[in-house]
Structure 1
Amino acid sequence: MKTRFFAFAALALTLAACNNDNENLNDGPVAAKFTADIYESVSTRVNQDGTDWTDGDRIGITGAGFINIPYVRESGQFVPEDKTIYFNDIETKTFNAYYPYQSDGGTVSVSTAADKQGPGIDFLFASGATGDTHNPEVSFTDKTAEGGADNSFHHRMSLIKFTIKAGDGLIFDGMEPASYTLGGLKHEGTFDTATGTTAVTEAAESPITMQLGGATTSQVIILPQGVTTSLDLTVSFNGLDYTTTLPNPSKPEANQFSAGYAYTYNITLNNKGITVEEPEITPWEPGDSNNVSITL
């Protein structure tokens, strides 16, 4: 009898503990848990193709009465850097997020000059992800396959990619082009961390020169912007300058480098002649890809 009595007593205490846990879950603050994907990607790293996360990446989150709260990627998930976002009631809360985290938040200045290129200006934005005390996982992912919304991170800048090839009469063979200069674009502007919008503030176009360091591929992150004239490209190879004019974008909007789109130009250096190949598609949302040959 004593054994049975103690067994029932233990069971009663266990049930009481479970009930208390449920009450805390429903009535007390519950920490939000954030998951995030970049459009058309899985999550492990923001690499040069712009498709993945890496540990150490920091995003800023706004929602549920919190503004610009930093979360950092650790061991494959985003965790609070200092302040934790909690759900304090049963109402559904909506969140926005951006990358990379800016301590001041709001509208921040952006330069896409040669010395600023890299993940620091690869701005991403996600919106509309929801959560509550019963469903504390806030998922910045694409849910359209399940009939939901696309809440994943999208690139808010534009990308121009170059592949340089040796054509008729030229051989690189360890002596690749040294650099290239791209003209016709504006490189100063802003990014709004609250809305994900960008704007160009520079009054006039200015050239940007990128060193290749032996590589035959390169990319330039730029502010989304319209162009009224064709872009001039000069490639320095073997002490000579090869110059051409790049065709302007035709999609998704004519004469416009659009947010989230990559534009790939395959450049072939020739002693004579110009060839144009079929476009390629990049890991960002595909924009134009153009193949251009440069005649000396």
Structure 2
Amino acid sequence: MKMKKIFLTSAVALALLSSCNNDYDGQDIAGTKLAVSASIDQVNTRLSDSGSEWTEGDAIGVSDNLSNPNLNIKYVAGSAMGDFTSTTGIYILGNEEVTYTAYYPYAGNEGASAGELQFKIVDESGKYAGHNAVDFMYATGTATRSNPKVAFVFKHQMSKVSLNITDSNAPATKAETPVSYTLQGVIIDGTFNTGTGEITPGSTKGNVKVDAVLGTASSIILPPVAAGNAAEPIQLVIEVGDKIYAGSLTPALDASQEYKYSVDLSKTESGENLQIDSPTIDGWTPNDEGNIDVEEEVNYNPTLEVGDFLCKDGTTIDKDYDLVQLDETVKASIIGVVYYVGNPQPSVLYEYEDAVDALKRDYPLCTKGLAVAISNAQEAADRFATAKYNYSDWFKAEGNQVAESYIGSALNLTSVFDHILGYNNTRVMELAVADVNDNTLTGAENFMSILTQYRENNVVAGTSVWYLPSYAELKLMQDNYAVVSASMAKVGASLPQYTEFASANNEAFYWSSDLRGNSYNWVSPLADVPEDTNLFVGRTSSSLKGYFRFTLAF
């Protein structure tokens, strides 16, 4: 499916104010008038389902971040090309860069923040209020006195549900047949923060009715689901003449996303439940900017969850997606399963300085979560090291500036450490082994060769490199075991639990990257063990074997 991503780039010409002097830092200097242009970063406009331009007279509110701020200055579109002018205007003084915010549609009075706008998506009769009333948009931009052009790129803050109701058995002459549909039990109110762009859904549920035409797509803009909550199913009732159809929709209702449903009434008898397929999900506000007439990739995963699949190209697939429908190339690219959702960087999760956060330092954009490989790094159990592997002295060595730039919590003698530090620990191991000046290190050739080979054979785009998880990360896999293992099974993989760990001479477990002193590693069987069971084994003992199951941040 080809989709055009339209970006309006015209800007109003620069206007200099030569006759107005403003007092700044004790000197009279000329102010420069802010020149405003605006585009809508979107596939479909807020004005209609087919248009792509502003309408002359559309108004936005612009504010700046100065100590004596310009607040809610009204700028009006002079044409469909996105050039905006103001009767009041904003003037830039000084040489500092100024940050501006803008929102749509304009409300309130100039000179006073519009604050939070309350809204309802229905009118008094219960019908949809229309896109113009509830399509809230927000943008930020910067300008300076020497370059006073601010080009806002507005993003939709609400969610959108579109329906194309057809009847393939209906004759062509009935293509213009009126049809109405009602979404039942949706949130119909909320607030829009004009200063931050944030939408806060209300608590009032109701019904929204829309009049449409058979065979022509129409849409409703709804409040997005609040962070941390899951969208509830929406009941759909369709009326065509004296016939009534019913079913349910399950859009995720993420901000800036459009959920497109096609409903063919010929497949259902009046009074029966509609059979409604999963929606096509488009970036109503695409994340990639500047591309024109590009083919949109299929979005297999609108909302990231534990159990979702990670592919070699860095994309994810929903854990509940029917993998049979996938192209074989896409299916074959699945390389990991998500076991943690959220920013995994230690300085974000714990009280660490950014300077020692190796993951944030090396991969600052890997903030979505963690994924575990769908297979072990080696077929047979193996020892952690072929010879003595001791970097605790190296790590603690006074004046070791390299080691001091990492979080030094990989060594814990008394209990397993509960911090996500796998990448940090693995990097310290690599650095310690590479430190040829330290005579106490005789290498860990077995582990390092396995790690290096696995990284070379399993490259993933847009993620960190593979690393050995910490015990806390293995514990996350254990806590989410039912979901993670179910996803593994869907791609013919497995993540065995070793419930016999306590009685099997410690030969069934996964190595962690947390060390217990110079000679032992903390390990995990991914299963509960008796309270008095030691969760550590000697790294160099030939009788103690474990598996390497690598993980990565993305």
1:188 match: 189
Query: Is residue 208 from structure 1 mapped to residue 211 from structure 2 by the alignment?
Result: no
Q: Which letter maps to 1:47?
A: L
Query: Is residue 125 from structure 1 mapped to residue 138 from structure 2 by the alignment?
Result: yes
Question: Deviation digits for residues 190-225 of structure 1, max 9, x if unmatched?
Answer: 00100000111224x211111226673211011112
Aligned-pair distance for 1:275?
7.2
Q: Which letter maps to 2:71?
A: I
2:455 match: none
Instruction: Flag the 1:112–1:88 CA change in 2: closer, same or farther, 3 A.
Output: same
Structure 2 residue aligned with 1:101, among 82, 106, 119? Answer: 106
Q: Which letter maps to 1:74?
A: G
Query: Is residue 233 from structure 1 mapped to residue 236 from structure 2 by the alignment?
Result: yes
Corresponding pairs, count: 243
Query: Is residue 136 from structure 1 mapped to residue 148 from structure 2 by the alignment?
Result: yes
TM-score after normalising by structure 1: 0.72
Query: Is residue 67 from structure 1 mapped to residue 71 from structure 2 by the alignment?
Result: yes
Asked whether the 8 Å contact 2:128–2:220 carries over to 1, the reply is no
2:257 match: 261
The DSSP-based 3-state class of the residue aligned with 1:270 is helix
Alpha-carbon distance in structure 2 between the residues aligned to 1:124 and 1:106: 14
TM-score after normalising by structure 2: 0.40
Aligned-pair distance for 1:259?
1.1
Aligned-pair distance for 1:288?
8.3
Instruction: Flag the 1:179–1:262 CA change in 2: closer, same or farther, 3 A.
Output: same
Instruction: Flag the 1:278–1:194 CA change in 2: closer, same or farther, 3 A.
Output: closer
Aligned-pair distance for 1:227?
5.0
Asked whether the 8 Å contact 2:43–2:285 carries over to 1, the reply is no
2:413 match: none
Q: Which letter maps to 1:48?
A: S
**Higher strand share goes to which structure?**
1
Question: Deviation digits for residues 242-283 of structure 1, max 9, x if unmatched?
Answer: 11122x23xxxxxx3111111111111025494748836465
1:4 match: none
1:28 match: 30
User: Which protein has the larger Cα radius of gyration, Structure 1 or Structure 2?
Assistant: 2
Instruction: Flag the 1:135–1:282 CA change in 2: closer, same or farther, 3 A.
Output: closer
1:18 match: none
Q: Which letter maps to 2:150?
A: V
Structure 2 residue aligned with 1:112, among 107, 117, 121? Answer: 121
1:38 match: 40
Alpha-carbon distance in structure 2 between the residues aligned to 1:60 and 1:98: 5
Question: Deviation digits for residues 226-250 of structure 1, max 9, x if unmatched?
Answer: 555321111111301011122x23x
Alpha-carbon distance in structure 2 between the residues aligned to 1:53 and 1:173: 34
Instruction: Flag the 1:288–1:242 CA change in 2: closer, same or farther, 3 A.
Output: farther
Instruction: Flag the 1:40–1:112 CA change in 2: closer, same or farther, 3 A.
Output: closer
Alpha-carbon distance in structure 2 between the residues aligned to 1:115 and 1:70: 27
The DSSP-based 3-state class of the residue aligned with 1:216 is coil
Alpha-carbon distance in structure 1 between the residues aligned to 2:279 and 2:159: 21
Aligned-pair distance for 1:170?
4.2
Asked whether the 8 Å contact 2:42–2:283 carries over to 1, the reply is no
The DSSP-based 3-state class of the residue aligned with 1:28 is strand
Aligned-pair distance for 1:79?
0.4
Calculate the aligned-residue CA RMSD, in Å: 3.0
Structure 2 residue aligned with 1:86, among 91, 94, 101? Answer: 91
Instruction: Flag the 1:284–1:88 CA change in 2: closer, same or farther, 3 A.
Output: closer
2:224 match: 224
Instruction: Flag the 1:116–1:277 CA change in 2: closer, same or farther, 3 A.
Output: closer
Q: Which letter maps to 2:103?
A: Y
Alpha-carbon distance in structure 2 between the residues aligned to 1:275 and 1:121: 27
Asked whether the 8 Å contact 1:235–1:243 carries over to 2, the reply is yes
Q: Which letter maps to 1:29?
A: G
Q: 278-287 vs 97-106, which deviates more?
A: 278-287
Q: Could you list the runs of 5+ residues in structure 1 that have no partner in the other structure? A: 1-20, 141-151, 250-255, 290-296
Instruction: Flag the 1:275–1:227 CA change in 2: closer, same or farther, 3 A.
Output: closer
Q: Which letter maps to 2:94?
A: D
Higher relative contact order structure (alpha carbons within 8 Å, sequence separation ≥ 6):
1
Alpha-carbon distance in structure 2 between the residues aligned to 1:46 and 1:223: 14
Asked whether the 8 Å contact 1:62–1:97 carries over to 2, the reply is yes
1:149 match: none
